[in-house]
Amino acid sequence: MKKIAVTILFFLFLNTAHAAEIAIVDVEQIIENSIVLKNVKKQLEKKKTQLQKEIEKKEAELNTKRQNIINQSSVISQEAMEKKMEIFQKEVFNFQQYMKSTEENMKKSHQDAIMEINDEIKHIVKKMRNKEGYKFDIAISSSALIYSKENLDISAEVLRTLNKNLRNIKINL
């Protein structure tokens, strides 16, 4: 009796699985080719350029300070020299921490932007599901896909809609 029930459930599941309409979405390709990601990259590149100028300026300043301390070594006491070097090393450490923090903030901003784009893609796919001409029950990311019919891929339409709906994300750094 159990075998019959399991067999019936299997065939019911098989029928249901065949009835489901599937759409394929290449999320990575959509994100990489989106206008919004290109704008995010421009913002991050601009910040990176500003940061590089700031680094160069601070390095020059620190080199000058270090050289001044070395030049004073013959005219100040050992204790005063050690105190100046300690203050200098703290300044170097603080700058290194600032740089590390800024770099982490830039990475987080990039990740946050990707998440926001991903959320918009999900929203677009859900809206497309109810749109005329798009009737699917399941949307699958193409990254796990080995083969599909070309007409199941809705990535191009999702990208067009994403580029129309979400053109820029303000990066907070």
Collect all residues with Cβ–Cβ distance below 8 Å to 143 and sequence separation of at least 6. Answer: 26, 27, 28
Question: What's the one-letter identity of residue 72?
Answer: Q
Res 10: pLDDT: 39
H or E segment at 139? strand 138-141
> Model-level pTM?
0.73
H or E segment at 24? strand 22-25
pLDDT digits (tens, 9 = 90+) for 81-91: 999 999 999 99
